[in-house]
Amino acid sequence: MPSFPRIGKLGKGGERQGNRPGRELEHWRFTSAQAEVEAAFEAAYGEKPYVVNVFLPYGKLEENWLTWKEKWAAGGLVHRCDGQTMHLWRDERGKYRQEPKPCPYADNPNDKDACKEVGRLIVVVPELWEAGHVGFVTMETHSLNDVLNIHASLLRMLEESPAGLRGVPFLLRRVPAMISTPGEGSKRVRREKWLVALEPAARWSRLQLKAAEAAAMRNERALPAPEPGVTIDAVTGEVINDDVPWDDAPGGEVDASGTEADASGAEVDADFDWVNDPAKKKAFAAEIKALGVKDPSWITAALGVM
């Protein structure tokens, strides 16, 4: 996409009060150097919008989302760095230089005068383009929570949209959240703040789900038919192969009825071979009586033991 001018800015706070930043707002504040652009935005969203429709103009994350640490003073930007190295800085004569130079606050980032986090998201507001105002809008935040949340959202979207971020419709929201903030002294307290949330539009998510479903249907393959003689237990999932013979058991062959044939050809129940042993039958009858069975006669009669 060609480079277009910046026609407006989405901010989280009110107008500056002297040297102090404006108070935090619960909604977006749109500003532009062109009154007609501000009027077009208000016509589309009203005076206090919580949600704005946006597109990202570029495919890569770093082209749409610029994150730095910056130090500002009355004369403007003092330096821009990545926390360790300055990539843009103002020299003693007031000229900006781009030669890499160590950040003076790299070892002391908590200094009250140290550079602070800033994130700038370049977006297209479709309602402005439809009204004839072609250009980019910059959303700016100085909240570390916003920087981390937006970065995570863009990374997730890149996983879902390998073709890139360009053309994906997003919703840029203001949302309340309880976060840790500086308190008195070195203490920290939790306060409600209105953060920034970047999420894909519902219509795009629905299309992605439909596309994924269609792809799954195209790739679906019929399961292979079971091999002959193989049965699958519908409850346990166990494979039952009736064509596989039983393993030979010690002492003789086992037929389909589960009985064992001895050397003479007589069938012997493998688990109850003691039934044909008179000594074992008498011992079993004695155990039954010892257990206190009042009338074991039916058992002993069945065993042929008097």
Distance (Å, whole) CA 154 – CA 58: 12
Phi, psi of 212 (to 5 degrees): -65, -40
Give residue 148's pLDDT. Answer: 93
Q: Give the C-alpha distances (Å, rounded to integers) separating 255 from 249, 260, 262.
A: 10, 7, 12
In one-letter notation, the amino acid at residue 274 is W
Distance (Å, whole) CA 170 – CA 52: 8
Highest mean pLDDT among 244-248, 254-258, 283-287: 283-287
Res. 270 pLDDT band, cuts 50 70 90: very low
Q: Is the pLDDT of residue 134 over 90?
A: yes
Residues in the chain, total: 306
Give residue 263's pLDDT. Answer: 44
Q: What is the mean pLDDT of the chain?
A: 79
Mean pLDDT of 142-148: 92
Least confident of 82-91, 194-203, 242-251, 287-296: 242-251
* Burial bucket for residue 18 (CB in 10 Å: 0-12, 13-18, 19+): exposed
Number of helices (H) and strands (E), helices first, in the chain?
7, 16
Task: Kindly write down the DSSP assignment for every residue of 45-103, as one continuous string.
Answer: H-SS-SEEEEEBSSSSHHHHEEEEEEEEETTEEEEEESSSEEEEEE-TTS-EE-S-EE-
- Closest of 244, 39, 251 to residue 131, by C-alpha: 39
Q: Is the pLDDT of residue 16 over 60?
A: yes
Question: Do residues 125 and 137 make contact, with C-beta atoms less than 8 angstroms apart?
Answer: yes
**CA end-to-end span of the chain, whole Å?**
105
Distance (Å, whole) CA 268 – CA 270: 6
Higher pLDDT, 245 or 164: 164
Higher pLDDT, 83 or 267: 83
- Closest of 230, 248, 247 to residue 239, by C-alpha: 230
Res. 206 pLDDT band, cuts 50 70 90: confident
Query: In the block, which residue shows the tokens 């640490």?
Result: 69
Q: Give the C-alpha distances (Å, rounded to integers) separating 13 from 23, 54, 104, 201, 296.
A: 5, 20, 29, 25, 95
Q: Is the pLDDT of residue 79 over 70?
A: yes
Least confident of 19-23, 261-265, 285-289: 261-265
Q: In what order do the strands lie in the sheet with 51-55?
A: 51-55, 169-182, 188-200
Task: Kindly write down the DSSP assignment for every residue of 99-145, as one continuous string.
Answer: S-EE-TTTT-TTSTTS-EEEEEEEEB-HHHHHTT--SEEEEEE--HH
Task: Kindly write down the DSSP assignment for every residue of 158-197, as one continuous string.
Answer: HHH-TT-SBT-EEEEEEEEEEEEEE-STT-EEEEEEEEEE
Mean pLDDT of 234-259: 50
- Whether the full predicted model's pTM is greater than 0.85, yes or no, is no
Higher pLDDT, 15 or 137: 137
Distance (Å, whole) CA 26 – CA 194: 6
* Burial bucket for residue 173 (CB in 10 Å: 0-12, 13-18, 19+): middle
